[in-house]
Structure 1
């Protein structure tokens, strides 16, 4: 107990620090202090010094000399890798849509819309062909499509369609609202489907036309083997462009109600062989 009292007394005792002139021994400067006050001053100076050094490293380039801290080049590489990872994640999500719908088709179930599978913040990332102007450019596109169709009709001749080994995937699951009727110039089957229902390629092939028209909205045309041609009209989005190779059952678009000829959300599906229209219901179970 006496030892503790001695320590407290020592801390509180006041001392005098003086500066004297060497020649006259006159007191020049005097400072009165205690050990306790001296300790407080030393601790305060240390705190200010540590804070200053920390701020200096945080807000100046000196922080790059700290072992393990990434420099500008390393941070740039990290940023590029983060962007690549984000892009890969989006591709994986799109493949999940394709795989899920393929499994449902094989199980004879209704496919799901991309919005039911993809995260909401990635729906806007689904590729979509830009609409652009719809006046002169649309007219040129329609004229090009008509010329291609006329060339196909004039250059291709008869021939029997070899059906052995062909397996048609239904382009969409829905209700047939209008059948194949050449007498009324309806060389297609109309299938009503829910909004955002996805559209599938019926066979392996290559896209040879993908564009927008005022009458039919987005149109996708796929050239298959055996001189077969499948056409998908009134789409709201297209996931393929001209020159893309597609496989049977792969997602190629989204159903819509676009175009002046549309009467609601449905797919206008046509099947052609050597320039002659075929009744899709003869080959596909809708």
Structure 2
């Protein structure tokens, strides 16, 4: 045993020379000398360093998914799920905003929406929770919730449903303000696509909001002159056309009975001072005289 150890020690301590020669002329270009255990130690150290570097490279880059087949960490998986949830939420919000804007466009152009049966088959979010698109008063908050919040803060109870102890029964559960005093010159007639009541009044008579809500449109159109559209709770819209002037801006919160414009004779379709008043619920026109005593 002692002889073997002595022989191994001599072998490790023996000096070796590594020479680099040129193939054509056998000219010596480089030479490295050292004991055998130097060479073994160097080779092992280089191999260990290479292995450590490779492992660090794989663990710190996406290569770990392809090489090791490892799954995401708990934190990364949570971040990924959160990102997908946000994308899905933004997609639903964009769809709701698109539906809402299409509804506004249809109302402005005087086009009736889907039937009540079709509306009842839509998702709940499309019926009773119209999303307000204006960032000034909260993207993603329903008009119903926002209007109710404003009412609670102001302490004004007049637009709440009459039967507050039970579930809402729809548009009939609201108490509407008369938008203006005058004589009805043209009644609601869906067969003739007249989805409004025309009220003959004096020039510059004040026009009042029929319910509390937010102004979503306040501008001039060639056919109907100055137009104001107010979004109320429960997906109710009220329209006031042919106004002489408007005193509210888009995004403004108005209370029921508050003056929002003045009656006039603007627009190509006007034949005299009057207010063209429309009431829409879930994208469909309703007869204002069913809910308001003019």
* TM-score, with structure 2 as normaliser: 0.45
* TM-score, with structure 1 as normaliser: 0.46
